[in-house]
Structure 1
């Protein structure tokens, strides 16, 4: 089935709306480079749209009520109560807001030959060599013993310093160039260069002190951020590419940015949720952490956070009932919104062209993901696919169906199989991405726009 390039179909009015959606999206990418920052953006935007926190919501719930709940500042769920009772099910948009990156360890600061470094541990599936010699920023929080939490963001402002992980110069790299790509740089060598200037003796440095550069870093941290070296133990600091989302291509048809897996689905789902009218069935948007490492932990999709919030809403609507909670979950329908691999002509051998996702052809649906023999996959039902097709066609959404590369080449996973455990209908959907999991990923503005339209259509028509 051949799908048209949707750029050829847009009216001037649609192009104007496309630009508005993508500018809104780029602004969120710039402000949300970590899961905590994404949650903060979501709370701010939700409040503007009339949402209240679960703690502030009042019983009994009625159609149109807007409620959000946050888990440890890293995951969030939003609900707009529909006209039907919750036990009839919800229309759920689910995406993850964590992205591959490099994390700072808990005892990270050290000096080696008059360089100060931060020791690191990479997070999620990355090609390690891609993170060498590019400008990097430091984002996160430092929690002090007195309960103070210090927000850290260094490397994004024009007058901020940036950081870097060094690479071996090509003149001395004959042995390195013989290595497999996975071994070009070891994980333990992905340490961030923090400083190279020593603390002067006149500033109180002991003459026997060997780590003068480290001492200078400690001094700067104390003076500028009120952070002690010991505070790294209770910190969550993430190393991400420095710089803003940019228009890509001379025609400005694409976006180049960090973290589009899966914030392109997360933010378009959020926009659809905030812009949706009062639904027939309760609308829900889930933005979760830890998908890149298996959806584990209290803030991942495998936790009971979402289920617990649904139980709270059922209690507020009609009284506590475990059975109604189970019915609400089982009767729900979900788009597990995660990115898909865009067909790349430069690496055509990795793709089966008839089953690939293409730039400019709209929102992608994956009946199944997993790897090879559909291992680890949710395999959506044919009847549900038919409902999805109807909902998209009614709102004139451009969409396509795809798989993640050739059958025996690789594969990937999403949160779909976790939510399917409740017995609800789930299908993977998302935006095609070039260079997925690289420090800078590329998307088509047309696909971002069609994803937003598709998520609105799902909330309205399912």
Structure 2
């Protein structure tokens, strides 16, 4: 596959995945196309060497793997399906000066200012009663622009360019339409109408939902020399796609190759589907067993946690340690933190650098300024749950947690090939 084809497939994945539910559904479709078999957590499993399997939880997290020899351990790649966004509240209806708005809750560390003046749509999952009074669920995506958060004109806020604070309760409820005099609107009725329009005529009553607003502008290759990919949710669907592509292009070997994409990373990962929850461990126990068997398997295993890294911004270069300032299109970034905000150690970093030397891939390092707080990701959390050697890795990006982020057109394509080499490792060098 060429770099151009890879990036076009990536763009299609990003556009098809406005929520974690849609991202997992898109990944499931691709896995099924290549022969992966679904597993159900509520049933017993019969795993065979050479088999290809996947299992989902809550429709928002997924583990997919090719089954190798149990004594070889696993080569695992991790990412997360969620992104900072605006979620619709349970009783969201707002009627202000004849405008119908929806109250929203901020999910994760959203960079709020870029959400103003964007063409927004709505997507997620809806729970409803059908005409047999059975509870059903359905993914929904309005796709078209249905809302906007207009900025306040500069004439009414002359100091806006010298300092703008956004109040998430009062400043960001999106406007959906104008109301007639004394008109009352039930948001759940609007959802019912949309479900029926989409062909779900059995919907009698919408009970609950998990819905998020998103920017309708398509992901795109941009720049005068096509150097960049601009899109919403690059953090962390970019890594989900790279991990998926690597797994799908990995030829079966003696070693189990596994991809895990967890939900709820942006809000701490403590949930049934998060990296600090039991999902991945429960899958590994079914592969290797519990107790000593799992401990021995994890000692022979390694995880590469792939999340985005902060590329050095030319307008804000002072925010970086000058010796650890990753550039877009200069390779994946090994993320290091002495206080264990990242799980990288000398063993896992050396192994990855060796893989890059073998494949000719570029590699960079990121360490925060010593006077700046460091973020974290699923790496330390998963390592803490499993006791597995872990490398925290990321693709350099700009605008992390904005409604539209920026990455390089070369980095994801190159990382995919390196991860395929990682999946093929029959033995980890530090075990020899």
Paired residue secondary structure (2:2) = helix
1:31-57 CA-to-partner distances (Å, cap 9, x unmatched) read: 012110110011111111111012499
Is residue 61 of structure 1 aligned with residue 48 of structure 2?
yes
**Structure 1 gap ranges (5+):** 1-15, 199-209, 315-319, 369-373
Is residue 236 of structure 1 aligned with residue 228 of structure 2?
no
Cα pair 1:362 1:397 within 8 Å, conserved: yes
Q: Pick the aligned partner of 1:432 from 380, 393, 396.
A: 396
Is residue 165 of structure 1 aligned with residue 134 of structure 2?
no
Is residue 250 of structure 1 aligned with residue 235 of structure 2?
no
Q: CA deviation at 1:178?
A: 5.9
Paired residue secondary structure (1:345) = coil
Is residue 185 of structure 1 aligned with residue 167 of structure 2?
yes
Distance 2:74 2:184 in 1: 56
What does 1:241-390 align with in structure 2 at a 5 Å threshold? 241-314=215-288, 320-368=289-337, 374-375=338-339, 377-390=341-354
Distance 1:238 1:60 in 2: 37
Cα pair 1:176 1:184 within 8 Å, conserved: no
Q: CA 1:211–1:301 in structure 2 vs 1: closer, same or farther (change >3 Å)?
A: farther
Q: CA deviation at 1:213?
A: 5.5
Distance 1:415 1:312 in 2: 22
Is residue 150 of structure 1 aligned with residue 138 of structure 2?
yes
Distance 1:273 1:454 in 2: 11
What does 1:33-112 align with in structure 2 at a 5 Å threshold? 33-55=18-40, 59=46, 61-62=48-49, 64-82=50-68, 84-85=69-70, 87-112=71-96
Cα pair 2:343 2:383 within 8 Å, conserved: no
Larger-gyration structure (1/2): 1
Distance 2:314 2:204 in 1: 48
Is residue 129 of structure 1 aligned with residue 129 of structure 2?
no
1:223-277 CA-to-partner distances (Å, cap 9, x unmatched) read: 443599983x610000111121111102112111000001111100110011101
Paired residue secondary structure (2:347) = helix
Q: CA 1:428–1:220 in structure 2 vs 1: closer, same or farther (change >3 Å)?
A: closer
Paired residue secondary structure (2:284) = helix
1:374-403 CA-to-partner distances (Å, cap 9, x unmatched) read: 445134221232222222222222221222
Paired residue secondary structure (2:243) = helix
Distance 2:44 2:253 in 1: 19
Distance 1:20 1:432 in 2: 21
Equivalent residue, structure 1, for 2:178 = 196
Q: CA RMSD in A?
A: 2.3
Distance 1:188 1:449 in 2: 42
Question: How many aligned residue pairs are there?
Answer: 414
Cα pair 2:125 2:209 within 8 Å, conserved: yes
Is residue 20 of structure 1 aligned with residue 5 of structure 2?
yes
Distance 1:218 1:58 in 2: 39
Name the TM-score, length of structure 2 as normaliser.
0.89
Is residue 443 of structure 1 aligned with residue 426 of structure 2?
no
Cα pair 1:378 1:420 within 8 Å, conserved: no
Cα pair 1:276 1:459 within 8 Å, conserved: yes
Q: CA 1:229–1:129 in structure 2 vs 1: closer, same or farther (change >3 Å)?
A: farther
Paired residue secondary structure (1:297) = coil
Is residue 420 of structure 1 aligned with residue 383 of structure 2?
yes
Name the TM-score, length of structure 1 as normaliser.
0.84
Distance 2:7 2:331 in 1: 14
Distance 1:164 1:330 in 2: 51
Cα pair 1:392 1:457 within 8 Å, conserved: no
Distance 1:432 1:247 in 2: 16
Cα pair 1:57 1:67 within 8 Å, conserved: no
Distance 1:321 1:423 in 2: 13
Q: CA deviation at 1:309?
A: 1.2
Paired residue secondary structure (1:142) = strand
Q: CA 1:165–1:229 in structure 2 vs 1: closer, same or farther (change >3 Å)?
A: farther
Greater share of residues in helix: 1
Cα pair 2:77 2:304 within 8 Å, conserved: yes
Q: CA 1:184–1:60 in structure 2 vs 1: closer, same or farther (change >3 Å)?
A: closer
Cα pair 2:396 2:407 within 8 Å, conserved: yes
Cα pair 1:101 1:124 within 8 Å, conserved: yes
Deviating 4+ runs (over 6 angstroms) = 227-230
